Homo-oligomer: A and B are copies of this chain.
Amino acid sequence: MPEYHVAPLENLVDKFESLPGIGHKSAQRAAYHLLNLSDEEAFSFAEAISEAKKKIRYCKVCCNLTDDELCPVCKDDSRDRSIICVVEDSRDVFALERTNEFNITYHVLHGAISPLSGVGPDQLRIKELLARVNSDEVKEVIMATNPTVEGEATAMYVSRLLKPLGIKVTRLAYGIPVGGDLEYADEITLSRAIEGRREL
């Protein structure tokens, strides 16, 4: 709309629209909502962005996001350092931690090998993983990358690097999700679930 142009407002809407999963209407709603907040609340939103951007960095050990030298998991002495769970993204660590069942450590690759998007092994935190495996007393590496083409390729690539070092490399089980419905499961998942069947 060239006739109706309020630059700071449009700029703000554009910013929100640049976020993943937020379309034009949601971006507008967010921007108007911010303008309706008190000055203090709106500025604290802006401050939260700068603050997070300034303070958050990668954990020295596992490359997870943290505001300290080490992330809370790597700081935790009770963790079993002989098992490293390798994930693509920091959010995956949060998801796995929510299970509250495994007292293991993690390694965040920050992506997956994807030639189409121009992401090769060098852009991932694989060197850091190898260094860790060489120095710590690691017995097992669980490849918990996503069950996608890229995640699989990454899991295969990393496992080929680790196996010669005498490390046990495992992969998450495939199967039907708990609470799901067989009727709606896709064929590949179903055949993987049958392949991976276990005795009761």
Known: A19-B29, A30-B22, A56-B35. A65 touches B4 (CB 8 A): no
A184 at the B interface (CB under 8 A): no
Cβ–Cβ < 8 Å partners of A56 in chain B: 6, 8-9, 35
* Distance between Cα atoms of A11 and B56 in the complex (Å): 12
* Distance between Cα atoms of A66 and B32 in the complex (Å): 12
A172 at the B interface (CB under 8 A): no
Q: Which residues of A from 29 to 55 have beta carbons under 8 Å from B?
A: 29-35, 37, 39, 42-53, 55
In this complex, the interface size class of chain A, counting residues with CB under 8 Å from chain B, is 35 or more
Which of B1, B49, B90 is close to A12, meaning CB atoms less than 8 Å apart?
B49
A120 at the B interface (CB under 8 A): no
Cβ–Cβ < 8 Å partners of A46 in chain B: 46-47, 49-50, 53
Determine the residue in chain B with the shortest Cβ distance to A38: B53
- Which stretch (A92-100, A122-130, A136-144, A190-198) binds chain B? A92-100
Cβ–Cβ < 8 Å partners of A1 in chain B: 94, 97-98
Q: List 20 A-B contacts (CB under 8 A).
A: A1-B94, A5-B72, A7-B67, A8-B51, A8-B52, A8-B56, A8-B67, A9-B52, A12-B49, A12-B52, A15-B44, A15-B45, A22-B22, A32-B90, A34-B53, A35-B53, A39-B53, A42-B49, A43-B53, A49-B49
Question: Interface on A for B, CB 8 Å cutoff?
Answer: 1, 3-9, 11-12, 14-15, 19-22, 26, 28-35, 37, 39, 42-53, 55-56, 65-67, 71-73, 76, 89-91, 93-94, 97-98
